């Protein structure tokens, strides 16, 4: 499988603004810190971690909603490889049709004053890709692909259910025939009953259109449902990366093990007394770290963990010695 995106040494730092009593808060937050990542064409790569781990910021860097502070993002565009991190706004414009996003909340991401036709057509209009009857035909075709009746395109979003609104959001993302779709918590706001329908739709569309997804979620059952590979993030760093099945059955980083333990099990017999994320202080992403970032919470920490940060992935000094527990049950029944 060829690479569609190669991220190298990517960092995104934010410097604080005004704080309490108007004092300036100069702390720099390392939201994404020296991340390397490869996305293969046609796969679904999951980015998972607790809130604040940097996964959303990383997704927004790939979309170039943020300009990274450092690093490269080599994207294999239709016109050849480009470094997304280095491009100007004008240079990025043609790529906005190739790299698209699906938003989390279909209720707030769809303009209530626009019809479905206007919402889905907008990226084609803005990028001057179609007009007139061709525009209407492309909107109709995309809606049909997303399981919506084209004859309803003159209606407004409020006339649709939550699941249908997310289908409209997906149609808006796909109408430009993108290569790469970054979906951030795309099913988190949906009822459980609708969630698996949308996940199945995303899978079908991927098969049909050869799409590549970067799927960002805190929900491991959703990740297990959809993803081929998973990268686990903790405090701005990727700590483990593996094929989905391997990661779930045999995690190699204590943080991954802790995440897997925290997934609610539908069967009470499978619940354990330690099914919660470990307590302990989570270092601030504005701190300078020495040692492993998970060390304050890690049940396996040794003195070296406070002194030296593991350099390679999985980022754990004891990955070969620890026998970490995975999950052999199918979590997808909870998605
Ligand atoms: Fe835990 Fe040490 Fe491994 Fe960090 S390096 S995850 S503290 S055992």
- Gap from CA of 321 to ligand 1 centroid (Å): 11
Q: Name the DSSP letter for residue 24.
A: B
Highest mean pLDDT among 86-90, 261-265, 282-286: 86-90
Tell me the mean pLDDT in the region 201-227: 96
Instruction: Report d(CA 139, CA 209) in Å as an integer.
Output: 16
Q: Is the CB of 254 under 6 A from ligand 1?
A: yes
- Gap from CA of 275 to ligand 1 centroid (Å): 19
- Gap from CA of 308 to ligand 1 centroid (Å): 10
Which tokens in the block code for residue 230? 């998973």
Q: Which atom of ligand 1 is nearest to the CA of 253?
A: 6
**Angle 53-58-64 from CA coordinates, rounded to 5°:** 150
Tens of pLDDT, residue by residue over 288-332, are: 778 999 999 999 999 999 999 999 999 999 999 999 999 866 666
Instruction: Report d(CA 218, CA 41) in Å as an integer.
Output: 23
pLDDT at 19 over 60: no
pTM: 0.91
Candidate of 296, 298, 309 to mutate for ligand 1, largest count of ligand atoms within 8 Å of Cβ: 298
pLDDT over 90, % of the chain: 78
- Gap from CA of 187 to ligand 1 centroid (Å): 32
pLDDT at 87 over 50: yes
Tens of pLDDT, residue by residue over 91-110, are: 999 999 999 999 888 778 89
- The model's confidence at residue 193, banded by pLDDT at 50, 70 and 90, is confident
pLDDT at position 280:
61
Q: Whose CA is nearest to atom 6 of ligand 1?
A: 316
- Gap from CA of 246 to ligand 1 centroid (Å): 20
pLDDT at position 107:
78
Q: Which atom of ligand 1 is nearest to the CA of 310?
A: 5
pLDDT at 335 over 50: yes
Q: Is the CB of 298 under 6 A from ligand 1?
A: yes
- Mark 153-189 as b/e (b = at least 16 C-beta within 10 Å): beeebeebeebbbbbbbbbbbbbbebbbbbbbbbbeb
Tell me the mean pLDDT in the region 34-59: 96
Tens of pLDDT, residue by residue over 246-259, are: 999 999 999 999 99
Q: Is the CB of 244 under 6 A from ligand 1?
A: no
């Amino acid at each position: 499988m060829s690479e569609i995106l190669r991220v190298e040494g990517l960092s995104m730092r934010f410097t604080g603004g005004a704080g309490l009593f108007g004092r300036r808060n100069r702390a720099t937050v390392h939201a994404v810190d020296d991340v390397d990542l490869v996305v293969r064409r046609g796969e679904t790569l999951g980015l998972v971690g607790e809130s604040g781990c940097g996964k959303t910021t990383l997704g927004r860097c790939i979309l170039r909603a943020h300009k990274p502070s450092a690093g490269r993002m080599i994207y294999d565009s239709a016109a050849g490889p480009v470094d997304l991190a280095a491009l100007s706004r004008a240079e990025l414009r043609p790529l906005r049709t190739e790299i698209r996003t699906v938003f989390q909340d279909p209720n707030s991401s769809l303009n209530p004053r626009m019809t479905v036709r206007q919402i889905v057509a907008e990226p084609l209009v803005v990028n001057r890709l179609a007009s007139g009857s061709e525009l209407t035909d492309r909107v109709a075709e995309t809606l049909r692909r997303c399981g919506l009746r084209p004859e309803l395109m003159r209606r407004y979003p409020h006339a649709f259910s939550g699941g249908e609104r997310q289908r409209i959001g997906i149609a808006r993302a796909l109408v430009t025939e993108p290569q790469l779709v970054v979906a951030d918590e795309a099913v988190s706001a949906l009822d459980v009953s609708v969630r698996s329908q949308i996940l199945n739709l995303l899978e079908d569309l991927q098969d049909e259109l050869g799409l590549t997804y970067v799927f960002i979620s805190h929900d491991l059952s959703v990740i297990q449902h959809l993803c081929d590979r998973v990268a686990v993030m903790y405090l701005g760093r990727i700590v483990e990366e593996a094929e989905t099945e391997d990661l779930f059955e045999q995690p190699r980083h204590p943080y991954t093990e802790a995440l897997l333990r925290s997934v609610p099990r539908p069967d009470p017999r499978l619940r354990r007394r330690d099914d919660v994320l470990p307590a302990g202080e989570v270092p601030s992403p504005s701190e300078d770290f020495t040692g492993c970032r998970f060390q304050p919470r890690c049940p396996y920490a040794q003195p070296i963990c406070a002194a030296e940060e593991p350099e390679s992935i999985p980022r754990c000094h004891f990955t070969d010695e620890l026998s970490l527990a995975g999950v052999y049950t199918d979590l997808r029944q909870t998605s």
